Amino acid sequence: MRPRALLLLLLLLLLLGALRSGGSPARNVLLLLADDGGFEIGAYNNSAIRTPNLDALARRGLVFQNAFTSVSSCSPSRASILTGLPQHQNGMYGLHQDVHHFNSFDGVRSLPLLLSQAGVRTGIIGKKHVGPGAVYPFDFAYTEENSSVLQVGRNITRIKALVRRFLQSQDERPFFLYVAFHDPHRCGHSQPQYGPFCERFGNGESGMGWIPDWKPQIYRPERVQVPAFVPDTPAARADLAAQYTTIGRMDQGIGLVLQELRRAGFLNSTLVIYTSDNGIPFPGGRTNLYRSGTAEPLLLSSPEHPRRWGQLSPAFASLLDLTPTILDWFSIPYPAYSIFGSRQVQLTGKSLLPALESEQPWATAFSSQSHHEVTMYYPMRAVQHGPFRLIHNLNYKMPFPIDQDLYVSPTFQDLLNRSRAGRPTHWHRSLRRYYYRERWELFDCSRDPGEGQNLAPDPRYGHTLQQLRAMLLKWQWDTGDPWVCAPDAVLEQRLSPQCQPLHNEL
């Protein structure tokens, strides 16, 4: 081919590429999700742990100080992230695997489904933990459904190779890649040979295997930072030290993933999001709707908004906001559809993209929980508005249930033993207070960050209590919550009023 003809062909190809992408590089999304991760990150002022890759991501993005999961349980949270709907609306009431067997409703239109229909290529690497498959389809998938979750969720060398394979595809569509680490989830219940947090998995010791890209970081228990809601005991400190090691593995994995993104030439066209699914697996953390169980790290790194890089945002964000945010990034309209009957589902979350332009006044976040394990039925609904958090414990006369994973942990076993022996627990509440809760719990988190003083019975906070109850009730009606009338009335949608009293003395 003559040089002039070759030049014309190249110009034509460039023109066609520009027309296909609207004159600019295609936008992409990388969602990085920790499993039971918390604020053990340098970017959130934890100076005891080394997380250089997350800290670098924070310097290249916006750091949210008030981000919350909508449910403090693994499968329900992941389903809420991938649908924009709370667990009581999407049907994922509890854990997905094994005997628990919860699934989202067949009519739910998830984020990967919506993206695929709009011409976006989708991929998932790591822990999926949601179903059914038809509701959560991915074009590229390496999860516990077809691989060892330890390999695709903790082996950062394997994760790196899979990310490279996804990014090297000749598919020219924009992409959504979801890397769901299994770290730092506890390991003591499922694979105790690797340690309480799988901190020995792949460390090169005899029988542990070897992860070539991982340089294990060992922490001394006396040097860790103990969160205010965790007992400050030698057992808990050793537990946290093991957790730090697995967070370090995830942090190094995140560095590898971002390196692959850079090598493939996508770093400057990709919105990178980092967060976690629920609170850390310690007493007061995961499975609770206290702030200690729902507050999450959230980093939003946009190559198009460098003015917000390294800034802290006090604006309230919810993981229910991630689906609207990602749809907005791709300029895809929000879905309006029906799961049951004729009533259309509307996303109640918001796009976080305006926060990348300027500070936002958002100050409210809702949460909803029904189960964790199938035996752990303890429905709760909560709202945090400004400094005040209101929790409605529907089955408050029952003891709060403890999951198997937490029960066998060194921290909880030590707490049990200390409580039985009448020894100091070095905890901010007793086991009895933890098990047995009031129907309404109201906390001023600005003055009482440990959420130890219930203000609901205090008449001085009567107006605040009624205001938050009204906000919570409206959200329940807006999201079609089947529990909206519980526990002292039954929902009868064809009657008026729809909440019919049970006269059950509650």
What pLDDT was estimated at residue 189?
Answer: 85
pLDDT in tens, 459-489: 999 999 999 999 999 999 999 999 999 999 9
Average pLDDT for 171-190: 96
- Rounded to an integer, what distance in angstroms lies between the CA atom of residue 130 and that of residue 151? 18
Alpha carbons 112 and 388: distance in angstroms, whole number:
35
Q: CB–CB of 74/347 below 8 Å?
A: no
Q: In which residue are the tokens 């205001």 written?
A: 467
Beta bridge partners of 44: none
CB 86 within 8 A of CB 80: yes
Its sign, for the CA torsion 228, 230, 235, 238, is: negative
- The C-alpha atoms of residue 99 and residue 180 are separated, in whole angstroms, by 23
Catalytically annotated residues = 74
Residues 491 and 497: their CA atoms lie apart, in Å, by: 9
> Whole-angstrom Cα distance, residue 20 to residue 83?
28
Q: What are the φ/ψ torsions at residue 501 (nearest 5 degrees)?
A: -65, 145
Residue bearing the bigger pLDDT, 188 or 402: 402
Question: How does pLDDT run across 281-337, given as a tens digit for each residue?
Answer: 999 999 999 999 999 999 999 999 999 999 999 999 999 999 999 999 999 999 999
How much is the pLDDT for 24?
A: 55
CB atoms < 10 A from the CB of 26, how many? 18
Indicate the burial class of 420 (C-beta count within 10 angstroms; 0-12, 13-18, 19 or more): exposed
Average pLDDT, the chain: 95
pLDDT of residue 11: 42
CA distances to 108, 181, 220, 248 from 245, in Å: 38, 14, 10, 5
Q: Is the pLDDT of residue 14 over 90?
A: no
pLDDT tens-digit series, residues 234-254: 999 999 999 999 999 999 999
Q: What type of residue sits at position 84?
A: G
CA nearest to 326, candidates 201, 174, 202: 174
- Kindly report the backbone phi and psi dihedral angles of residue 221, in degrees, each rounded to the nearest multiple of 5, phi listed first: -55, -35
Percent of the chain with pLDDT over 70: 95
Token pair recorded at residue 494: 């064809």
Instruction: Find the mean pLDDT for residues 100-126.
Output: 98
Q: Is the model's pLDDT at 86 over the cut of 90? A: yes
Instruction: Write down the pTM of the prediction.
Output: 0.95
Range of weakest confidence among 185-189, 432-436, 488-492: 185-189
In angstroms, the CA 128 to CA 181 distance is 10
| Burial annotation 331-349 (CB, 10 A radius, 16+ → b, else e) | ebeebeeebeeeeebebbb
- pLDDT tens digit string along 28-42? 999 999 999 999 999
pLDDT at residue number 242: 98
- Tokens 């770290």 belong to residue: 183
pLDDT band per the 50, 70, 90 thresholds, residue 2: low
Q: Residue 426: left (phi > 0), alpha (psi -120 to 50), or beta?
A: left
From the list 498, 368, 400, the residue with the least C-alpha distance to 89 is: 368
Query: What residues have CB less than 8 Å from 484, skipping those under 6 apart?
Result: 473, 476, 477, 491, 499
Q: Residue 234: CB partners within 8 Å, gap ≥ 6? A: 221
Query: Which residue in this structure is represented by tokens 């080394």?
Result: 50
What pLDDT is attached to residue 342? 86
Task: Say if residue 4's pLDDT is above 80.
Answer: no
Q: What is the pLDDT of residue 360?
A: 98
Pairing of strands 337-338, 344-345: antiparallel
Residue whose token pair is 């060194």: 410
Domains of the chain from N-terminus onward: 28-350 (3.40.720.10)
> Quick check: 250 and 54 in contact, CB under 8 A?
no
Amino acid at 218: I
How buried is 503 (Cβ within 10 angstroms: 0-12 exposed, 13-18 middle, 19+ buried)?
exposed
Cα–Cα distances in Å, from 128 out to 34, 187, 297? 12, 17, 20
Q: Are 372 and 95 in contact (CB under 8 A)?
A: yes
- The size of the chain, in residues, is 506
Torsion-angle region of 57 (φ positive above 0: left; ψ -120 to 50: alpha; else: beta): alpha
Residue 259: is its pLDDT beyond 60?
yes
Whether pLDDT at 16 is above 70: no
Name residues whose C-beta falls within 8 Å of residue 344's C-beta, 6 or more positions apart in sequence: 336, 337, 338
Q: What is the 3-class SS of 227-280, one letter each residue?
A: CCCCCCCHHHHHHHHHHHHHHHHHHHHHHHHHHHHHHCCCHHHEEEEEEECCCC
Instruction: Please answer whether residues 394 and 377 qualify as being in contact, where contact means their C-beta atoms are separated by less than 8 angstroms.
Output: no
Half-sphere exposure of 389 toward its Cβ, with a 13 Å CA cutoff? 31
Place 188 in a pLDDT band, splitting at 50, 70 and 90. Answer: confident
Q: Position of tokens 């008449």? A: 459
CB distance 239 to 196 below 8 Å: yes
- Pair 319, 296: CB distance under 8 Å: yes
> Two tokens at 135?
């509701």
- Mapping DSSP to helix (H, G, I), strand (E, B) and coil, where does residue 102 land? coil
